[in-house]
């Protein structure tokens, strides 16, 4: 079973592209959705976060704004949060992969926003990066409710630059030409990883820079 990572900076069209993979019948693991479920009332992370960060949860689960303030004020807080959340996410992902194997999937997509930032590319067979020109990205992001130039800049500062993502990717899906063009690129990616001579990025890294797909 091929593990295909999907990532992209804010406003690049990653969620839409993940939906295209689903429409093509590929199981998609949504890391953001998994975090939301863990943070929800009764979620596996909520009570543990309350112990680590008292006052950061309520009737609606984890208060993300309050938790973010706590993390910003405490240099060691992010590491403590990751110690709580990352093992839970690893368990959710393992369960997803097991279900996909049992269902006979030949390819699965792991939709991980901070894929490179967290080193998740090390476990993957290939990585597809969703991208668009900076002007299109900015236009998409700034129309979102509550978004400002300052917030946009702060988000970009936490993410690996788009140019670096594209350089490290096995495939790039350009979303600037519309959904149907992105769909055709997505199908090309699926065809490539399903080829009999496909070699995973882990194997190619082991064999050196001259090894191809």
Residue 131 banded pLDDT, cuts 50, 70, 90: very high
Find the mean pLDDT for residues 55-68.
92
Q: Do 60 and 39 share a structural domain?
A: yes
Residue at 213 is within a domain: no
Q: Give the residue carrying structure tokens 């939906």.
A: 19
Q: Do 22 and 113 share a structural domain?
A: yes
Q: Which residue has the higher pLDDT, 154 or 170?
A: 170
Check residue 204 and give its pLDDT.
Answer: 67
Residue at which a domain ends, from 104, 127, 150? 104
Q: Do 2 and 40 share a structural domain?
A: no
Task: Pick the range with the lowest mean pLDDT from 110-114, 144-148, 193-197, 201-205.
Answer: 201-205
Find the mean pLDDT for residues 43-51.
94
Q: Do 155 and 197 share a structural domain?
A: yes
| Nearest of 26, 25, 33 to residue 5 by alpha carbon | 26
Q: pLDDT by residue (tens digit) across 169-185?
A: 999 999 999 999 999 99
Q: Which residue has the higher pLDDT, 108 or 208?
A: 108
Q: Do 200 and 114 share a structural domain?
A: yes
Residue at 210 is within a domain: no
Q: What is the mean pLDDT of the chain?
A: 92
The CATH number of residue 157's host domain is 3.40.50.300
Residue 195 banded pLDDT, cuts 50, 70, 90: very high
Check residue 203 and give its pLDDT.
Answer: 75
Residue at which a domain ends, from 61, 78, 104? 104
> Could you tell me if 53 and 67 are in contact, meaning their C-beta atoms sit under 8 angstroms apart?
yes
Domain count, the chain: 2
Q: Do 193 and 99 share a structural domain?
A: no
| Cβ count near 90 (within 10 Å) | 10
Q: Which domain holds residue 53?
A: 28-104
Q: Do 118 and 99 share a structural domain?
A: no
Q: Which residue has the higher pLDDT, 200 or 72?
A: 200
Quickly list DSSP for 81-124: HHHHHHHHHHHHHHHHHHHHHHTT-SEEEEE-TTTTTTTGGGG-
Sheet of 107-111: strand order equals 28-30, 107-111, 2-7, 126-131, 171-174
Q: Do 74 and 20 share a structural domain?
A: no
**Bridge partners, residue 130, by sequence:** 173
Residue at which a domain ends, from 88, 104, 120? 104
Residue 150 banded pLDDT, cuts 50, 70, 90: very high
């Amino acid at each position: 079973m091929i593990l295909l990572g999907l990532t992209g900076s804010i406003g690049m069209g990653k969620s839409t592209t993940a939906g295209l993979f689903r429409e093509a019948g590929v199981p998609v693991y949504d890391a953001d959705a998994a975090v939301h479920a863990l943070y929800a009332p009764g979620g596996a992370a909520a009570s543990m976060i309350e112990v680590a960060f008292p006052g950061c949860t309520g009737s609606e689960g984890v208060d993300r704004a309050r938790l973010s303030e706590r993390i910003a004020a405490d240099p060691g807080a992010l590491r403590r949060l990751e110690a709580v959340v990352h093992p839970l996410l690893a368990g959710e992902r393992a369960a997803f992969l097991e279900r996909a194997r049992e269902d006979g999937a030949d390819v699965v997509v792991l939709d991980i926003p901070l894929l490179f930032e967290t080193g998740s590319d090390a476990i993957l067979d290939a990585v597809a990066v969703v991208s668009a020109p900076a002007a299109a990205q900015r236009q998409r992001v700034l129309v979102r409710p509550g978004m400002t130039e300052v917030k946009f800049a702060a988000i970009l500062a936490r993410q690996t630059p788009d140019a670096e993502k594209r350089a490290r990717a096995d495939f790039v899906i350009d979303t600037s030409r519309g959904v149907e063009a992105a769909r055709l690129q997505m199908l090309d990616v699926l065809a490539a990883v399903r080829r009999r001579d496909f070699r995973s990025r882990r194997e190619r890294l082991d064999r050196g820079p001259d090894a191809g797909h």
